[in-house]
Amino acid sequence: MPDLIKVAVDAMGGDGSPKKIIDGIIHNHLSNKETFYKIFGDEKKIKKLIENKIDNKFYQIFHTEKKVESTDSPLEAAKKGKDTSMWLAIESVKKGESDIVISAGNTGALLVISKLNLKMIENIDKPALSALWPNKKGMSVVLDLGANIECSSKNLVDFSIMGASLYRSLYPQEKANIALLNIGSEELKGNEIIKETFQLLTKKDSMDFNFSGYIEGNELMNGEVNVIVSDGFTGNVALKTAEGTANFITSELKKTMTDSLIGKLSSLLNFSNLRKFKKRLDPRLYNGAIFIGLDSPVVKSHGGTDFIGFSNSLDVCRRIIKGNLIDKIKNNLKS
């Protein structure tokens, strides 16, 4: 058997755990035989869910009954000690026993415990939270989504390099095309930090990415760029706005199609197109935020997703490691 990608899984984080997590692992394994799952959590509960579902040569359970609660503050989570499933999963990466870690648990706790255990990539000052967003032509990487409220121009340049590296590791056949999220597309628009970042990136065009200048909020989904960079405050507002808009459109369309006889007939006639539309906006397909800037990647699955969404996050883990994300970031920083 060839070397497997080793993913450390916090099995006790998020809603419906560990069942959702284990069901996600089982679903992921159906189409992926390249991953070895190192599962951290309550062994008695996990064994009941996974035994006879996956060959045991593809997983190992590390027992702990302690876990980080969704209500814990990051400080409380860190003070719980080194016996929680989240801490042990991250520590597995720190020790070189796993390639990447994933959790659906408390986001703040995950970021703090990751920073306590894992070193920063050399010359990166701040890690960033990134995610995949759909656009008209495929997918975009967007960062930072809330890890850093205030950023310097250097931070934004670093985010650009890391975002381009992430995009290239996930989509190795495509070129990364970067833009800064701003209030206008003209060079003079925006605050001094944005304008300074613009000047720095203009001089940093490399073989691995293009810089396309500014992008406005109403252009995020047009697909002209595939790496969108902002500070954490702006990025988080943009993310929540996009999520809310998608939910509004989906719920209003569903309401329109079921409120009357004509609507119901129309939905039957357009069943195939509606199904495609629903799938395109299905948040489970884009589940998996990536905490980058540390010397090992950390993936955060949405706590409220189901096992399909968690399975998709596991696939993101596999693609990140196969795409040599950390090496790409280091090489781009050198150039």
256 and 212 both lie in a single domain: yes
Structural domain includes residue 308: yes
Give the residue carrying structure tokens 């090496």: 327
Structural domain includes residue 217: yes
- In this structure, the number of other CB atoms found within 10 A of the CB of residue 8 comes to 29
45-95 pLDDT per residue, tens:
999 999 989 998 999 999 999 999 989 898 888 888 789 999 999 999 999
245 and 300 both lie in a single domain: no
156-175 pLDDT per residue, tens:
999 999 999 999 999 998 88
74 and 182 both lie in a single domain: no
Confidence (pLDDT) at 78: 87
Rounded CA-CA distance 197/190 in Å is 11
Angle ∠(117,122,128) on CA atoms, nearest 5: 65
Domain enclosing residue 216, as ranges:
126-283
Whether residue 205 is predicted with pLDDT greater than 70 in this model: the reply is no
Q: Residue 330, CB half-sphere, CA atoms under 13 Å: how many?
A: 10
303 and 167 both lie in a single domain: no
The domain spanning residue 107 has which CATH number?
3.40.718.10
143 and 109 both lie in a single domain: no
159 and 268 both lie in a single domain: yes
| pTM of the predicted structure, to 2 decimals | 0.86
How many structural domains is the chain composed of? 2
70 and 106 both lie in a single domain: yes
Structural domain includes residue 288: no
Largest CA-CA distance found in the chain, in angstroms, rounded: 63
